[in-house]
Amino acid sequence: MTVIGVTAVIALNGCSGTGNPAADTTTATRTAPLPRGVITRTEAVAVVDHYEEVNAQANKTQNAELLGTVEGGQLYEQSKADYQFLPTWPKRDQAYYKKAFSYRDRSYYIPEGQSWFAVKATASGSRDQALLVFDKTTDRHFKMVAAVYRDSTSPIPAIDTGNHGLATAVAPSTRVGALAPDQIAGAFEDLYTTGGKNAGTQLASTTATRSALKTYRERTSYRNAKYATLHWETAQPTKPRVYALRLRDGGAVVVFPTAHNRMEQLKDGHIYKGYIKLVPGAQQAVFDKTPRVAILDELQGQALAALTPSGKAAVLGVEYRMVDSR
């Protein structure tokens, strides 16, 4: 990062006057302190490199404890779920997951006065950009707490680094256009719960929102619709912190947690027949393989969005993982 020193010339009046303004004025030059982030770019590079190394080791044997030394937040909740589900995946997918990867084409965004920084990068073996967030945890170590890939049709907008090379954080409660960063999750979950009739109307049409609406519409035509009902309820994210950075156009790019419960339940008439039960799928059976009259799945997610000063918020990418089924 390139930093530019700023000097200020301050005129200080003397304690006693001589009648001569020039003689009564002392000129002093002070250098204004430059803004600082929680980490330097060189240190941030080392943090990401260390994450890659430990992540590769942990993924080989699904060592959640080791992974927890470099991961936190919603990302860690999802990674632990991946470890549980891995045996249910095709062998090819298991091998791919265990293969080490690296982040290339990195751009670092370090905001002033925050405990965290972000990195825009592309994972080896992928063409899609991701926004990664590393936060300083209670044990004073940086951990990756979010990693959201944008979909192929929604590039990550240009992030403002005009503060002497630093990025600028946006407070989660600050409205930017239609929504504030901490309101996007509620709007997105409204797509699942009502089909976007309420807060969801504040979201622009993107691949992520269209997929959520498709899921909502299929609740009456999915494979068990003859016997059961299906609906979604907004849930509390395990790690609720929101991260936002100012964009060059005055908007904000936001990484936010999101969560919902998926409830499938036999219709009353079929419950009383007794011989009909809902059979858990492969991932649901990891938690409870017992056929039952109702199945409640808890899904924890993380998502990426762009807010514009005028217009609707755009969700650029979203990922969910099932973390419980009962």
What single string gives the DSSP state of each residue in 184-242? HHHHHHHHHHHSSSSGGGGB---HHHHHHHHHHHGGGTSTTTTTEEEEEEE---SS---
Q: What is the mean pLDDT of residues 137-148?
A: 89
Lowest mean pLDDT among 161-175, 197-211, 258-272: 258-272
DSSP secondary structure string for all residues of 6-71: EEEEEEEE-SS--S-TTTTEEEEEEEEPPP-BSS-HHHHHHHHHHHHHHHHHHHHHT-HHHHTTTB
Percent of the chain scoring above 70 in pLDDT: 89
Cα–Cα distance for residue pair 47/142, rounded to 1 Å: 7
Q: Phi and psi (nearest 5°) for 65?
A: -65, -45
pLDDT attached to residue 140 = 77
Return the biggest CA–CA distance within the chain.
105
Mean pLDDT computed over 200-221: 96
pLDDT above 60 for 26: no
| DSSP β-ladder status, 252-266 and 294-307 | antiparallel
Res. 270: pLDDT tops 90: no
Please tell me the pTM assigned to this model: 0.87
Predicted pLDDT of residue 139: 67
What's the pLDDT score for residue 155?
A: 84
Span 161-182, pLDDT tens digits = 999 999 999 999 999 999 999 9
Please determine, for residue 259, whether its predicted confidence score (pLDDT) is greater than 70: yes
pLDDT digits 0-9 by tens, 282-322: 999 999 999 999 999 999 999 999 999 988 999 999 999 99
- Mean pLDDT value across residues 225-252: 96
pLDDT exceeds cutoff 60 at 221: yes
